[in-house]
Amino acid sequence: MSQESQLTTALAEAATTAGHAPSVHNTQPWRWRVLPDALELHTATDRQLLAGDPEGRLLAISCGAALHHARVALAAEGWRTVVRRLPDPGDPGLLARLSDLTPTEPDPDAMRLVQCMSVRHTDRRPVSDEPVPTDAIGEITRAVTAEGSRLQILDRDQVLELAAAAGHAGSVEAEDPELRAELAYWTSRADTGTGLPANVLPAEPTQTTVPSRDFGRPGSLPVGPGHDHAAVYALLHGDEDERDSWLRAGEALSAAWLTATRLGVSAVPLSAVVEVEGTRQTLRQVLAGIGFPYLVLRLGIADPAHAGPPHTPRLAGEQVVDTSAVRGGRP
């Protein structure tokens, strides 16, 4: 294979691997374009949550997670790359360009994280009573810092503030007919490879201190009697509240979640508190003004006695990876 086709194959494969990334309501709001010497990440605004995420905050975080997946996939295959975020002010839909690829040694840490990509999933059941090891929290926190964001572990009082804010955000969203309709749409289209199927959503509301998202309909995932007593709640945050920082927050989310998966820790994002303006401000106060909140994460050890939820479906590679600009490109 010529070096050019090796490169474009690696780029197309990295973009396809990035399809494992988590995204809000499994919208997968990204589109990749493989070029002869670069890979571009574009927004798929037709899969943006217009009611729940009009500013595109969660869209950018989701795309950032996919960007991190692609970066790690390239490093695992032995490619060093330069990433330019929001490289063209005239094209706001172009979120990132990965270019200047040079061959290098495959990175063993990246190889381990690639293995975690196909294992990682959202388990919305209450966590078990087993505490999350302090070392694991330290590693997850460092993974976030390495991506330019920060993770604040919430103390008991802050968790109670979060619980009140999450409850309030849930009621605000439940009363909004447009949000309800949007949620109904994304929880009833899993046969299209996007959205949330019933078997990943709890069959009944979980009895937890911090209310989890009400998806507006019961799923079919058995939840058991567990609580969130042993859960650790953390706030992903950073210095700015701009698209560039949301994108980086998504990269940090991916780094944290893949690290958590490697360490046997389950993670669930809670984003309703960030979607509602008022509760987002409450989170800012929780941070005592040291940053802007991007996402709440619940960390815990999943119930080992029962099978967790199945994997959420994904769009096929050719639906999100455009290889038309390269001859012989895949997929």
Ligand X SMILES: Cc1cc2nc3c(=O)[nH]c(=O)nc-3n(C[C@H](O)[C@H](O)[C@H](O)COP(=O)(O)O)c2cc1C
Residues that bind ligand X (CB under 6 A): 22-26, 58, 61-62, 65, 121-122, 124, 196, 212-213, 268-272, 295, 312
Task: Report in angstroms how near the CB of residue 100 gets to ligand X at its nearest.
Answer: 28
Query: Is the CB of 22 or the CB of 226 nearer to ligand X?
Result: 22
Whether 104 and 80 have beta carbons less than 8 Å apart is answered as yes
What is the rounded distance in angstroms from the CA atom of residue 153 to the CA atom of residue 160?
Answer: 13
Contacts for 170 with CB less than 8 Å, ≥ 6 apart:
211, 213, 214, 272
Query: Is the CB of 25 or the CB of 262 nearer to ligand X?
Result: 25
Query: Is the CB of 9 or the CB of 17 nearer to ligand X?
Result: 17
Q: Across the beta sheet with 232-238, what order do the strands follow?
A: 150-153, 232-238, 292-300, 266-270
Task: Report in angstroms how near the CB of residue 312 gets to ligand X at its nearest.
Answer: 4
Task: Report in angstroms how near the CB of residue 6 gets to ligand X at its nearest.
Answer: 29
Task: Report in angstroms how near the CB of residue 269 gets to ligand X at its nearest.
Answer: 4
- State the amino acid at position 166 in one-letter form: A
Classify residue 157 as exposed, middle or buried by CB count within 10 Å of its CB (0-12, 13-18, 19+): exposed
Q: Closest-CB residue for ligand X?
A: 22
- Given phi > 0 = left and psi -120 to 50 = alpha, else beta, which region is 26? left
Query: Is the CB of 66 or the CB of 76 nearer to ligand X?
Result: 66
Contacts for 93 with CB less than 8 Å, ≥ 6 apart:
42, 43, 45
What is the rounded distance in angstroms from the CA atom of residue 146 to the CA atom of residue 11?
Answer: 24
Task: Report in angstroms how near the CB of residue 265 gets to ligand X at its nearest.
Answer: 14
Task: Report in angstroms how near the CB of residue 23 gets to ligand X at its nearest.
Answer: 5
Task: Report in angstroms how near the CB of residue 9 gets to ligand X at its nearest.
Answer: 25
What is the rounded distance in angstroms from the CA atom of residue 176 to the CA atom of residue 154?
Answer: 29
Query: Is the CB of 98 or the CB of 295 nearer to ligand X?
Result: 295
Task: Report in angstroms how near the CB of residue 120 gets to ligand X at its nearest.
Answer: 7
Classify residue 177 as exposed, middle or buried by CB count within 10 Å of its CB (0-12, 13-18, 19+): exposed
- DSSP-based three-state secondary structure for 50: coil
Query: Is the CB of 268 or the CB of 299 nearer to ligand X?
Result: 268
E strands along 1-93, which residues? 30-35, 38-43, 79-85
Query: Is the CB of 38 or the CB of 183 nearer to ligand X?
Result: 183
Query: Is the CB of 25 or the CB of 47 nearer to ligand X?
Result: 25
Quickly list DSSP for 278-303: HHHHHHHHHTTTS-EEEEEEEEE---
CB atoms within 10 A of CB 203: 13
Query: Is the CB of 121 or the CB of 248 nearer to ligand X?
Result: 121
Task: Report in angstroms how near the CB of residue 329 gets to ligand X at its nearest.
Answer: 26
